C-alpha cells in the first residue's frame, strides 16, 4: 500500500518539478507541494479586495402623479424620499486608494463606506461612473500606502486558465471561490444595464460579489465581477467579469479628471455577420460587423469605409458584434489611431481610423427658457452627433431636441429626448426660436414632437 502511495505521488510531481528531466521522478519534499493549495495566493490578494456599503436617496413617485382628477387630492400620497442601501465589493488598484467597483453598487450614492479585510474603514467618493459599462472608480479619503492588485492585460487571458473570484457574497464576509475562465468575448449576455464584452467564468459569483476581483494564479486582476446568468437567483456556474483592459481606461480617465467615461464615436450602425450574410459576402465563416449606415462625420467614413463594408478586426483583435467593436474602440481610447481590418467588395483591406469623441457639428446652441417664458425651465439643443450620443438617439436625428423638460413642460407631456417639429404649425429649426414661437402661439399652443418613431401632438392653454 505504501509503495502505491509513493508511486502515485512521484507520478504527480512529474509535472510539478521545474527542472526535472522527462525521466526524473522524486517524492514531494514539503507539505505545500502535497496540498497544492491556493493559500499563498489568497493571502497575497485578499488585502486589496474591499467591502463597500453604499446609501442613496431615491424619490418615490405617487401613483396619482399627473392624474387630472386625483393628482391634487392625493399629492401627499407617495413622492417621499426613500433610502436605499446596497452592498458590494471593490478592488484597490493603487497605493493612494483608487478603487474600482460596479456602478450598480455605488452609482448615485450619497454615502459610501469602504471596509478593508483588516476592519479599517474609509469614506469614499466616486471619481468616475458609467452605467452602461457598469463600472465606477472611487477614491478613498485619507488613504495612503494601501495594498493593491496589479492589472494584467485581459487580452492575454485564455480559456481554461485557473482563476479565483474574491468578494463579499450575501454580506457574509470576504469569500474566495475558484474556477476557470470558461469563455471569452461574451457580449450581450450580462444582466442589468451593462453592455459590451465580458470574461466568463465558472467560479461561483453571488449577490454581493459585484465589483469584486477575478484574479489569475499570479494574483493579477484580469476582471471585475459584475453579474451572473441564473434562473434561481444563485450561482449556476456562469458568471461574468468586466475585462481589466477596460478598467485600465477608466482609471486613466478618472485620473485625468473626467467624471463620466468618454467613448470613441464610431458614427455608424452595424449588425453581426451571420451564416447567411457570410455566404452572400463570400466570407466563408461568419464573423465581423456589417456597416448598415454611416454618418458623414464618422472617422470610419473619413478613412474610406462605407455602407456594405464589413469590419473584421480592431488593432488586430477580431470583432463579431457591435458591442464588441465598441469595447475594442473603448480599450484603444480617445486620441489613439486604430488599425482596422475590413472587407470591401470581397477584398480585405486595412485602414487607420482615429478614435474621436462624437463631434459638436453643428453647434448644439443649448438654451434654457427663463421664468418669463411660456414654458420656464425647458432646456433645448440643436441635434448633432454629441447630443444624439448623450440622449441615446439615432445618429441621423435632426432638429431641436428637449434635453430637460423642466417642471412645466413635463406636466404637459414633453420628455427628455423629444424632438420638436412644429409649434402652431411653424417649423422648429433653432433652439433660440422656440420661446418666440410659443409666445406667438399663446394662449392656445399646439406642439408637434417626435418620440422614437412616433409623432405626437401636445395641446395646452397658457
Q: Across the chain, how many H-helices and E-strands are there?
A: 11, 25
> Is residue 266 within 8 Å of 149, Cβ to Cβ?
no
Catalytic annotation, pick one of 134, 202, 418, 435: 134
Catalytic annotation, pick one of 133, 187, 210, 298: 210
Q: What is each CA distance from 249 to 133, 258, 354, 364, in whole angstroms?
A: 12, 11, 17, 28
Q: Whose CA is closest to 99, among 43, 52, 42?
A: 52
Query: Would you call 315 a catalytic residue per the annotation?
Result: no
Reduced to 3 states (helix: H, G, I; strand: E, B; else coil), residue 384 is: coil
> Is residue 458 within 8 Å of 414, Cβ to Cβ?
yes
Query: Would you call 104 a catalytic residue per the annotation?
Result: yes
344: phi then psi, degrees, rounded to nearest 5: -130, 115
Angle (nearest 5°) at CA 301 between 296 and 302: 95
Q: What is each CA distance from 365 to 244, 371, 387, 401, in whole angstroms?
A: 38, 19, 11, 11
306-312: long-range pairs with CB below 8 Å, 24+: 306/344, 309/342, 309/343, 309/344, 310/273, 310/281, 310/283, 310/342, 310/343, 311/270, 311/340, 311/341, 311/342, 312/287, 312/288, 312/341, 312/342, 312/343, 312/348
194: phi then psi, degrees, rounded to nearest 5: -65, 135
Angle (nearest 5°) at CA 122 between 49 and 248: 45
Query: Would you call 336 a catalytic residue per the annotation?
Result: no
Catalytic annotation, pick one of 86, 89, 104, 133: 104
Reduced to 3 states (helix: H, G, I; strand: E, B; else coil), residue 226 is: strand
- Which residues are catalytically annotated? 104, 134, 210
Amino acid at each position: 500500500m505504501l509503495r502505491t502511495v509513493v508511486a502515485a505521488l512521484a507520478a504527480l510531481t512529474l509535472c510539478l518539478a521545474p527542472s526535472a528531466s522527462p525521466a526524473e521522478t522524486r517524492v514531494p519534499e514539503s507539505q505545500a507541494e502535497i496540498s497544492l493549495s491556493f493559500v499563498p495566493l489568497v493571502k497575497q490578494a485578499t488585502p486589496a479586495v474591499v467591502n463597500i456599503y453604499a446609501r442613496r436617496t431615491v424619490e418615490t413617485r405617487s401613483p396619482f402623479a399627473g392624474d387630472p382628477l386625483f393628482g391634487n387630492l392625493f399629492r401627499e400620497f407617495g413622492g417621499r424620499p426613500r433610502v436605499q442601501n446596497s452592498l458590494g465589493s471593490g478592488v484597490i488598484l493603487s497605493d493612494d486608494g483608487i478603487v474600482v467597483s460596479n456602478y450598480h453598487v455605488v452609482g448615485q450614492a450619497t454615502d459610501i463606506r469602504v471596509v478593508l479585510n483588516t476592519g479599517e474603514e474609509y469614506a469614499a467618493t466616486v471619481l468616475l461612473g458609467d452605467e452602461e459599462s457598469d463600472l465606477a472608480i472611487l477614491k478613498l479619503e485619507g488613504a495612503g500606502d494601501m495594498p493593491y492588485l496589479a492589472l494584467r492585460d485581459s487580452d492575454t487571458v485564455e480559456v481554461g486558465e485557473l482563476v479565483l473570484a474574491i468578494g463579499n457574497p450575501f454580506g457574509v464576509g470576504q469569500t474566495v471561490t475558484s474556477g476557470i475562465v470558461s469563455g471569452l468575448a461574451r457580449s450581450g449576455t450580462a444582466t442589468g444595464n451593462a453592455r459590451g464584452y465580458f470574461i466568463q467564468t465558472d467560479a461561483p459569483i453571488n449577490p454581493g460579489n459585484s465589483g469584486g476581483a477575478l484574479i489569475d494564479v499570479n494574483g493579477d486582476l484580469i476582471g471585475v465581477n459584475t453579474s451572473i446568468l441564473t434562473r434561481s437567483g444563485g450561482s449556476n456556474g456562469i458568471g461574468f467579469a468586466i475585462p481589466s483592459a477596460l478598467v485600465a481606461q477608466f482609471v486613466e480617465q478618472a485620473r485625468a479628471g473626467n467624471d463620466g467615461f468618454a467613448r470613441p464615436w464610431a458614427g455608424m450602425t452595424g449588425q453581426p455577420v451571420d451564416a447567411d450574410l457570410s455566404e452572400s459576402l463570400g466570407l466563408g465563416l461568419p464573423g465581423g460587423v456589417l456597416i448598415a449606415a454611416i454618418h458623414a462625420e464618422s472617422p470610419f467614413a473619413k478613412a474610406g469605409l462605407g455602407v456594405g463594408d464589413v469590419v473584421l478586426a480592431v488593432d488586430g483583435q477580431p470583432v463579431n458584434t457591435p458591442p464588441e467593436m465598441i469595447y475594442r474602440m473603448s480599450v484603444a481610447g480617445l486620441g489613439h489611431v486604430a488599425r482596422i481590418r475590413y472587407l470591401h467588395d470581397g477584398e480585405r483591406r486595412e485602414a487607420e481610423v482615429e478614435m474621436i469623441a462624437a463631434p459638436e457639428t453643428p453647434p448644439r446652441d443649448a438654451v434654457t427658457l427663463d421664468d418669463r417664458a411660456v414654458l420656464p425651465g425647458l432646456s433645448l439643443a440643436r441635434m448633432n452627433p454629441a447630443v444624439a450620443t448623450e440622449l441615446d438617439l439615432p445618429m441621423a436625428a435632426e432638429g431641436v431636441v428637449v434635453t430637460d423638460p423642466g417642471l412645466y413642460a413635463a406636466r404637459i407631456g414633453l420628455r427628455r429626448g423629444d424632438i420638436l417639429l412644429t409649434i402652431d404649425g411653424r417649423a422648429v429649426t433653432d433652439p433660440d426660436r422656440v420661446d418666440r414661437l410659443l409666445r406667438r402661439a399663446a394662449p392656445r399652443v399646439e406642439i408637434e414632437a417626435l418620440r422614437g418613431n412616433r409623432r405626437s401632438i401636445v395641446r395646452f392653454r397658457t
